Amino acid sequence: MNAIAQLQRMHHGSHFRAFTLRGGEAAEPIDPFLAVDHAWISGPTFPPHPHAGFSAVSYLFPDSKTGIDNRDSLGNRNLIQPGGLHWTAAGRGVMHEEVPAEPGKTVHMLQIFINLPRDRQEAPPFVLSIAPEDIPVVQLPGAKVRVPLGSFAGARSPLVPPTDVSMLDISIEEGAEVRVPVVDGHTAFVMPIDGAVGIDGQPFSLDEQKLPVKLPQGEDRLVTLCAKQGNARAVLFSGVPLRQPVYWQGPLALASAEALAEAIEAYQRGAFGKLQPD
């Protein structure tokens, strides 16, 4: 029997709604992931904000109606297209903002917070990005797997992130099945995105607001996904657990109370920089 985690509904103003998953103390049970928001954003929601100690990753589903205008205090400004991914490794601190590229159109995306190893939390911030057309796609009988992070069936993402993680965007036609091997040393969880998806024989959907964690359960290290009641979509996340403390304050997360206090002080004195005016 798989371990189960609960999704929470989240609303922020009139332009943001999400199903959100949060890790607890030391990010359990989704370590090295800290949080995942399956979100719909239709307008500016969050003003420019700081990050430190982890990576903020944005993945737009190909069905997103518009892209994301992304900018940061490193001077980067880019459009994250539907189907693309952008990774901001905040390290010792960065200012960040994302807004839908076209007013009135809805962005369908994942906002993913991924912990950084303790020895990389004081490193300078940097970004990684991959365009939709550069994400490998594996076609299987009745299924399609996009590989924005990590590898699957001989396809490998060109990104080399600072935390060892994988993310697979899996679309399954009714009656089809996908078997995903999880790399030795990784632990995994699966987030249902659309439709009813069977995961290792158990049914899951967004309506139930729950998902399986601490995968795989079997010695074969395989996770089996299937669609028995119409087409389905799910995202499989996996990574090497960091097993380090997590001290949160707002959008800052560090591995010790002292490091968190230092990050807060650095932000307050302007060390994270500023966004360039529009």
The answer to whether 35 and 56 have CB atoms below 8 angstroms apart is no
Give the separation between CA 156 and CA 153, rounded to whole angstroms: 8
| pLDDT at residue 254, rounded to an integer | 97
In a domain, 275, yes or no: no
List the pLDDT tens digit at each of the 278 positions of the chain.
679 999 999 988 778 999 999 998 778 999 999 999 999 999 877 789 999 999 999 999 999 999 999 999 999 999 999 999 999 999 999 999 999 999 889 999 999 999 999 999 999 999 999 999 999 999 999 999 999 999 999 999 999 999 999 999 999 999 999 999 999 999 999 999 999 999 999 999 998 999 999 999 888 999 999 999 999 999 999 999 999 999 999 999 999 999 999 999 999 999 999 998 76
DSSP 250: T
Residues 6+ apart with CB under 8 A from 119: none
In a domain, 277, yes or no: no
Count of structural domains, the chain: 1
In a domain, 194, yes or no: yes
Grouping H, G, I as helix, E, B as strand and the rest as coil, residue 35 is strand
Closest CA to 96 of 277, 278, 274: 274
Is 96 annotated as belonging to a binding site?
A: yes
| pLDDT at residue 25, rounded to an integer | 78
| pLDDT at residue 1, rounded to an integer | 60
The CATH number of the domain holding residue 36 is: 2.60.120.10
In a domain, 264, yes or no: yes
Is 108 annotated as belonging to a binding site?
A: no
In a domain, 278, yes or no: no
Give the separation between CA 150 and CA 247, rounded to whole angstroms: 27
In a domain, 167, yes or no: yes
Residues 6+ apart with CB under 8 A from 33: 23, 27, 112, 113, 114, 115, 165, 189, 237, 239
| pLDDT at residue 109, rounded to an integer | 98
Q: pLDDT digits over 113-160, tens only?
A: 999 999 999 999 999 999 999 999 999 999 999 999 999 999 999 999
Residues 6+ apart with CB under 8 A from 144: 137, 138, 170, 171
| pLDDT at residue 238, rounded to an integer | 98
In a domain, 214, yes or no: yes
* Structural domain harbouring 104: 3-269
